[in-house]
Amino acid sequence: MAGPGHCSAGKPLLVKIVMAGESCVGKTSIVRRYTEPSPAGPPPAASYIATVGIDFKVKTITFNDTTVKLQIWDTAGQEQFHTISTSYFRGAHGFVLVYDITNSDSFQGITSWMKDIHEKADDEVDIVLLGNKCDKETERVIPKHSGEKLAWEYGVPFFETSATDNINIEDAFSVLVKEIMNKNSYVLCDLDVVDLNESKKKRTCCQF
């Protein structure tokens, strides 16, 4: 893969990030909080709508004076979508691996998601571990030190986050992007990305 030094002048870099973790831990809410444009971000939807298959959002950031396009793939956590979700792991530069601090099954599931990442993603991929829903302190079942210990065992950064209260979301992505960007070889030039929304906007009933 090409590093930043190989990109044509003015071309942004492209970084592929994949969200992973059990169903209902807050992956979609975290992506929405991070990518949607209002300064504080909109609150995640109060009602839960499961991701079906896969979805993605793009966010453009500046890192050390370089424009970087983050392509964030939001996978479905439900078991029935496991094969399709993990098929998007290949080629990812980084993973945001999420559990819910109020749900012990989602914490136990991290080991299996880590195994999937190591089996299906490229070697030396960067990962950040998030214990989400830290605004629900009274319902907490996973102590913060358990998350820290697990992250330490895997050698990855760890944050407790809240998509609802916008806690540590920006910081978690910043740390992940920094780790990815520091490995120049994992960043692609954004040469052949087609903006599908842009083509849709231009299309009329007679033009395809």
Q: With respect to ligand GTP, which residue has the nearer C-beta, 73 or 186?
A: 73
Rounded Cα distance between 58 and 177, Å, is 14
Smallest gap from Cβ 198 to ligand GTP, in A, equals 26
CB 113 within 8 A of CB 96: no
Q: With respect to ligand GTP, which residue has the nearer C-beta, 86 or 132?
A: 132
Residue 77 is a binding residue for ligand GTP (CB under 6 A): yes
Smallest gap from Cβ 129 to ligand GTP, in A, equals 14
Residue whose structure tokens are 């089996």: 119
Smallest gap from Cβ 101 to ligand GTP, in A, equals 9
Q: With respect to ligand GTP, which residue has the nearer C-beta, 24 or 61?
A: 24
Q: Which of residues 13, 20, 34, 51 is near ligand GTP by CB under 6 A?
A: 51
| Bridge partners (DSSP) listed for residue 94 | 17, 126
Residue 84 is a binding residue for ligand GTP (CB under 6 A): no
Phi, psi (rounded to 5 degrees) for 93: -90, -30
Smallest gap from Cβ 148 to ligand GTP, in A, equals 18
Q: Which of residues 16, 59, 93, 133 is near ligand GTP by CB under 6 A?
A: 133
CB 197 within 8 A of CB 21: no
Rounded Cα distance between 33 and 203, Å, is 30
Residue 94 is a binding residue for ligand GTP (CB under 6 A): no
As given in the structure block, the two tokens for residue 196 are: 């599908």
Residue 141 is a binding residue for ligand GTP (CB under 6 A): no
Q: Which of residues 7, 76, 96, 128 is near ligand GTP by CB under 6 A?
A: 76
Strand duo 54-63 + 94-100: pairing? unpaired
Residue of 160, 70, 84, 140 lying closest to 116 (CA atoms): 84
Q: Which of residues 48, 111, 122, 144 is near ligand GTP by CB under 6 A?
A: 48
Q: How many helices (H) and strands (E) does the chain have?
A: 7, 7
Task: Compute CA 46 distance to the chain's CA centroid, rounded to the nearest angstrom.
Answer: 21
Q: Which of residues 4, 12, 24, 66 is near ligand GTP by CB under 6 A?
A: 24
Interface residue list for ligand GTP (CB under 6 A): 23-29, 44-46, 48, 50-51, 76-78, 132-133, 135-136, 162-164
